[in-house]
A and B are shown apart, each in its own frame.
Chain A
Amino acid sequence: MTTMAILTIFLLAIFVGFEVVSKVSTTLHTPLMSGANAIHGIILVGAIIVADNATSTLETSLSILAVVLATINMVGGFVVTDRMLEMFKGKPKAKKEVAK
């Protein structure tokens, strides 16, 4: 990949990132942070790529440690975000109760 292509992808992704979260209510700040946190757990893919190429003991042990840490970040991140958001699903039901 050329450096120019990478730079283009990088800049466009910055604008998309700015755009998608520009109007978010305070209520969702915490889940959004947690969700974004889970997404950068995708470094797991990077960790697998380097582990896949590792031949020396040093490289293997460091990259396997990276796989463990990245998995915790990614899987744990998505699960805890889901738990947070699960709390909000009771809302419409609660509204009905009050309406009664």
Chain B
Amino acid sequence: MNHNVYDVLGLAAAVCFILALKGLSTPKTARRGNLIGAAGATLATVIVFFAPRPAGDPHHNTLLILLAIAFGVLVGVPAARKIQMTQMPQLVALFNGVGGGAAALVATVEYLNLSKDGKPSTANLVATVFTVIVGCTSFSGSVITFMKLQELMTTRPVVFPAGRFVIAATLVGVLGTGGWVIASGGNTPLLVMGGLALLFGVLFVLPVGGADVPIVISLLNAFTGLTVAASGYVLQSTLLIVAGTLVGASGTILTRLMAAAMGRSLFGTLFGAFTAKPQEATGTGEVRSVKSGSPDDVAILLNYAQRVVIVPGFGLAVAQAQHTVRELADLLAAKGVDVAYGIHPVAGRMPGHMNVLLAEANVPYEQLVEMDEVNPTFPQTDVVLVVGANDVVNPAAKTTPGCPIYGMPILDVSEAGNVIFLKRSMRPGFAGIENELLYDAKTTLLFGDAKDSLTKVVSALKAL
């Protein structure tokens, strides 16, 4: 392919990515934006096979590359199609991790290649070191966030004695070996640096509490973007520089927006690793009395209410109760009850996650009320039905300085006349903090699987 044609097509792909991000920021154009991005990516992947090459240097490994792509498609597409919407955040984390790993590998191979003709230029060495460090950190960090979200390990911050010194020492080690690579080149320093960076990714994410995990995913996403830009510099590919930088920049802004929506300081989240102290045990273990009710009690409360606000949380999604909750809401609406859903910005596991889950169950969009709009209406609300949510209604976010969710804006459900919690057990929420509201006199608890409980409430309500 002609050099100019190749470059122009590459530029077209870069423009596609800008349009994709632009489209994704508005609900109306979001889907089209994503498709434009996919088209750009496909174009870029196809033309690289026809990239102009120096005379006498044939293409290598074309068949292997095609097989590898086919294999990647066979793994990636079914994973993306079959994943339950509830588990989607950890899939995004995993995709991000493999992207970071790929960038680190690309930089390593190009480093081996450049080293054949003696020591590579300092600029190339710096870009390689950056890509390998950040790519490895992003890879291992994403694996840990995946395990946290999949609940393969504890969702609480993992803090060990002198942890911050270990982390700081690892970081110094990573940067030190980075300097070693830049100074002397060679394979051993690069290998040691990659290994330390993998360890750093693990240590960096371990102390992050469950509620902050989405912010970390978003941040690692932005970092992976920057590694792509850096490998673009080494490979002299404008497309990689533009696409990587776009993701890095937009990802950074997105991370800040997310942190703001959750009322978290980005700085605190990032450097939590260095400042985290072993958490005081919450809850003294004493048995405190709670008021638990039957599905009939709940049905009666709901039946005679004027206004009901449903607060859905991750538990609702886990129990696949979106459809049952909609049935309940429709039934109440038919009885003349004013029903709304109070959506916390981070209900579920990521900002906007709950909107996706409820949209899947065809809940009318206008019944979904955002936190800032629903909060002033709680004093006029008779019953709040909290379905599988906990942290987003936990008053500790306002009253207990020092607890992991302190400062996060919450839904002020305690202002309402009655609060009903549908819970599996007294187990605390994702952030691992006891909820005082559960012991409040106006609170009724209905234990059991959210879907079972809702089904029973629905039939009790029909019988009334």
Mark A residues whose CB is within 8 Å of B. Answer: 1, 3, 6, 9-10, 13-18, 20-56, 58-60, 62-91, 94-95, 97-98
Cross-chain contact B254 with A6 (CB below 8 angstroms): no
Q: B316 to chain A: closest CB distance in Å?
A: 15
Is A72's CB under 8 angstroms from B68's CB?
no
Q: Is the CB of B218 within 8 A of A33?
A: yes
Residues of B with C-beta under 8 A to A90: 359, 362
Query: How far is A46 from B224 in the complex, measured between Cα atoms in Å?
Result: 14
Q: Contact residue range for chain B?
A: 35 or more
CA distance A88 to B350 in the complex (A): 16
User: Could you write out 26 A-B pairs with CB less than 8 Å apart?
Assistant: A21-B21, A24-B25, A26-B345, A27-B352, A27-B355, A28-B25, A28-B27, A31-B24, A36-B247, A39-B17, A40-B103, A51-B60, A51-B68, A65-B68, A65-B105, A72-B76, A73-B96, A73-B98, A73-B102, A75-B76, A77-B76, A77-B92, A83-B81, A84-B88, A84-B356, A85-B31
A52 touches B24 (CB 8 A): no
Report yes or no: B110 in contact with A50, Cβ–Cβ below 8 A.
Answer: yes
Is B68's CB under 8 angstroms from A21's CB? Answer: no
* A17-B246, A43-B227, A46-B103 known, 11 other contacts, Cβ within 8 Å: A1-B236, A13-B245, A31-B352, A42-B44, A45-B237, A46-B106, A46-B237, A59-B109, A70-B102, A73-B95, A87-B85
How many pairs of A and B residues are in contact by the CB < 8 Å rule? 371
**B75 with A14: CB separation less than 8 A:** no
B-chain residues with CB within 8 Å of residue A3 when the two chains form the complex: 123
A39–B77 touching, CB < 8 Å = no
Q: How many Å lie between the Cα of A73 and that of B261 in the bound state?
A: 27
The contact of A29 among B95, B241, B257, by CB within 8 Å, is: B257
Would you give the shortest CB distance from B333 to chain A, in whole angstroms? 10
Whether A29 contacts B254 by the Cβ 8 Å rule is yes
Tell me whether A82 and B31 are in contact in the complex, defined as CB-CB below 8 angstroms, given that A1-B236, A40-B243, A52-B61 are known contacts: yes
Contacts of B99 in A (CB 8 A): 37, 40-41, 43, 69-70, 73-74, 77
Closest Cβ of chain B: how far from A69's Cβ, in Å? Answer: 4
B105 touching A76, Cβ below 8 Å? no
- Smallest CB-CB separation from B32: which chain A residue? A85
Q: In the complex the two chains form, is B69's CB within 8 Å of A71's CB? A: yes
Cβ contact within 8 Å between B218 and A70: no
Q: Is there contact, CB below 8 Å, between B72 and A23?
A: no
The answer on a CB contact under 8 Å between B235 and A37 is no
Q: Which residues of B contact A56 (CB under 8 A)?
A: 112
Knowing A65-B105, A70-B72, A72-B95 are in contact, say whether A26-B240 is a contact too (CB < 8 A): no
Tell me the minimal C-beta distance from A49 to chain B in angstroms.
6
Q: In chain A, what residue has the closest Cβ to B233?
A: A6
- The answer to whether A63 and B106 have CB atoms under 8 Å apart is yes
Contact yes or no, B79 A76, CB < 8 A: yes
**7 tightest A-B contacts by CB?**
A71-B72, A17-B249, A76-B76, A13-B245, A73-B99, A29-B351, A66-B105
Task: Please give, as numbers and ranges, the residues of chain A lying within 8 Å of B27 by CB-CB distance.
Answer: 25, 27-28, 88
> With A31-B24, A40-B247, A82-B34 in contact, is A77–B95 under 8 Å at CB?
yes
Tell me whether A32 and B77 are in contact (CB under 8 A).
no
